[in-house]
Structure 1
Amino acid sequence: MYLFETTQKHPSLIVEPQHFAALLFRKIALLLLVIMLSACNSSGIYQDKNFNPPVYFGSHKVSQGDTLYSIAWRYGRDYKELASANGISPPYTIQLGQRIRLDLRGKVASKPKKTPSASHKKSKPVKSVSKNTSTAKPKKQTRVSTKSKTVKGVNWHWPHLGQIIARYSSAGNNNKGIDIAGNLGDSVVSAANGEVVYAGSGLLGYGKLIIINHNQHYLSAYAHNDRILVKEGQTIKQGQKIAEMGNTGTNRTKLHFEIRRDGKPVNPLNYLPKR
C-alpha cells in the first residue's frame, strides 16, 4: 500500500517500511552479483587455447595455409573421416575457398578412390602468403635422448628433455598435451618417424606449429616454435631437429607437445619413454 501527500509544487511518494526494506534487499543482492561477476572476468588467469572443442555441425571454408590435416586438428576430428565425408582422395588436395563438411551425422559421401601412387597420404596445402612462419633448410639431426618406447607400432622419443610444466588433462578445454620448459632457440626434435603434414601458424593458440603424421592412426604436434625448419610433405626421422623452441602464441618459452590417435588427444606420457 502506498500513501501520497500533496504539496503545492508536486506530489511525493511515501513507501511503507516493509516495502522499502524488500526493495533495498533486492538492490543489495543485485549489486553483490555484479561485483562477483566482475571479479571472475578480471581474474587475469592466462590459459592457452591449445585445443578447440570438437565441432560436429556446419562446414569449414578453406583459407590460405590450410591442409586437410590442420582442419581435422582444429576441430578434433580424424582426417580420414573428413576425407571420406567430403569425397576427398589421397593425396588429400583441397582448394582455396572450398567448403569442408564437418557434420558427419547424415549421409556420408562416397568413399574416396585409392590411388596407386599414394603410398604416403599427403595433404597438399593451399598456397600460403603468410609472413609469420619462417622456414629454413633442416640442419643435421639432433638427438635429445637415446631412449625410445614402441607403442602401437610407433617408436616414440622425447621431443625435448626440459621440465614438464603442464600435464595432459582430458577435462573440458584443459591441456590436451604436455608443456615442456626450455630456452629460446632450444632444439625441438621429431618424436617418431613420419611425414610433415602441416607447418604454419594458422591455428589459433598454437603459434608456429608442426604436425607430423606417423601412420594411419597417430599424429604428433609441436607448438609455439620460434623457427620452423621443415616443410610440408617432408619425410622426417625420429630425433631429427624440426624446429627451435619459442613463445609464439603463448606467454612464455616452451614446447607444447600433443599426440592424437584417430583425431582424439591422448596422454603423451603414456607413449613416451620414462625418464
Structure 2
Amino acid sequence: MKMPTHVPFIDAHLHLDQYTPAEQQDMLRSLPSHQVEAVIAVSMHLASSQATMDLAARHPHAVFPAIGFHPEQPLPSPSEAEQLFDWIERRIDQAVAIGEVGLPYYSRQEAEQAGKPWDQSGYVLLLERFVRLAKKHDKPIVLHAVYEDADVACDLLEQYQVNKAHFHWFKGSPETIRRMADNGYYVSFTPDIVYEEEIQALARVYPPGQIMAETDGPWPFEGPFAGRMTHPAMTSRVVQAWCEITGTEPEAAVRIFYENTKRFYRLP
C-alpha cells in the first residue's frame, strides 16, 4: 500500500530527551526526508522536562514539548514535587501539553506479582494535581493510564471537566473504550498496531476523529521493527496498518492522523 507524499506525519508521543545527543541530532535532521513534520516530546520528570524544553527551544518548528512526571517510577518527595510544579507553572506557556503523567499500572503489577505491598494513593493524588493544572491552564494532558487505571483517570478528568485528554498506547475494556470515546478523549497507536491483535481491535472501533500516531521512542518494537532504533518515521507504518485494518484510503488516513494531531495539540 503506497502512502501519499504530500501530507506529512507527526509523532504524537516521543521521549526525545531519552536519546543520545548524537541520535537526537541525526533524528531531527532526518525528519523531512521521512515526511515527518514534527514530534510531541514528552517528559519523565523535572530534569527530563528541562531537557525537553531545551530541545524545543533549539528546534522550535520540529519539537513541541509536554512537561510532567512519568508514573512508572518512585513518587517524588514533597519538596521535589513542589519544585517540579513551581517550575512547570513558570514555563507552562512554552509547553503544548502536560505529560507524560498517569498511573503506574506496570510497576503495580510487578510489585503484586512479587508479593510486595503497593500503595496507589500517592500516585492518584499526583495525577489529580496534574489534572487540575491542565484545567487551570487549558492545556491538553498526555496520559499513561491503561486497563483499570484508565477508569481512575477518567473519573478525575470528568470531575475537573478536562476534555483534552490523550491516552497514549492505550489498552482497556470495551466499557472503558466507549467511555473514553464518548468523552472525546484521544488515543494514539504505536508501531505494535502492525502485530498486536489487542491494538488492532482498538483501531477497529475507536472514532477516526480521535486518533493519532506515536512511537513512544526510544521504546523498541518487535515484528518488522525488531533490532531497529525507534524513529518517528515509523508513524508512516502505523498509519498504513490502520488503513489496512479499517479499509480507509491512504490519503484520507494520512490527513485524518495529521489534522487530528494538529488540532488536539493546537500546533501552528
The interval holding the TM-score normalised by the smaller chain is under 0.3
Bigger RCO of structures 1 and 2 (CA < 8 A, at least 6 apart): 2
Which one has a larger percent helix, Structure 1 or Structure 2?
A: 2
Greater Rg by CA: 1
